[in-house]
Structure 1
Amino acid sequence: MIMAPFPVQGITEGDFVVVLVPVDTEDPMTTVAEKIAHHAVNRRVPENDRPMVVRHNGRVLAADTTVVDAGVAPLDVLEVVHPS
């Protein structure tokens, strides 16, 4: 499949800023989490050793799910959280 730029809004757990982040349609959620967290971790949010997961509309997405497979629409809000 061809990767294409795809804009999403992202927020990292513990942050108060929603950022516009370009991801690729074929990025797995692990990559999406890193791209979103990059804008907050060690800036407004301390680094956390726990793994990050992406939540979309209240549902945690599997790490290997791509943006397209998850049904994410352009400019949807994705939350990066650290599950307990």
Structure 2
Amino acid sequence: MALFPVQGIVEGDFVVVLVPVDDTDPMTVVAEKIAYHGIGKRVAPQDRPLKVRWNGTVLADDSTIAGLGCAPMDVLEVLYA
């Protein structure tokens, strides 16, 4: 377990935020940590699950930062599935 800095943005938002995540957090948790900063503030909430996209690929819910080979400060996008 180690804190890992990523840049995050919610689809439809215009603000990129710096979010510390744990390198062993599943993508469901990473999505919630990023979404906290935009959904309900600048992006309307929806009744659909959140997904994380990295380098154009939507990631599996159980994948982790440590398992992806993500670099610090990489941009992760959160979107509704």
TM-score range, shorter chain: over 0.9
Deviations 1:45-71 (A, max 9, x none): 111111110000001110000111122
Looking at structure 2, the residues matched to 41 and 81 of structure 1 have their Cα atoms a distance apart, in angstroms, of 10
Instruction: Please state if 1:30 is matched with 2:28.
Output: yes
Looking at structure 2, the residues matched to 52 and 70 of structure 1 have their Cα atoms a distance apart, in angstroms, of 18
Aligned partner of 2:63 in structure 1 is 65
Percent identity of paired positions between Structure 1 and Structure 2: 65
Deviations 1:5-41 (A, max 9, x none): 0000000011000000000010000000000000001
- Residue 16 of structure 2 is aligned with which of 12, 18, 25? 18
Q: Which amino acid aligns with 2:70?
A: V
CA RMSD of aligned residues (A): 0.6
Structure 1 outlier segments of 4+, above 2 Å: none
> Do the aligned residues in 2 keep the contact of 1:52 with 1:81 (CA within 8 Å)?
yes
Structure 1 unaligned spans of 5+: none
Q: Which has the higher helix share?
A: 2
What is the TM-score of this pair, normalised by structure 2? 0.97
Q: Which amino acid aligns with 2:13?
A: D
Q: Which amino acid aligns with 2:38?
A: A
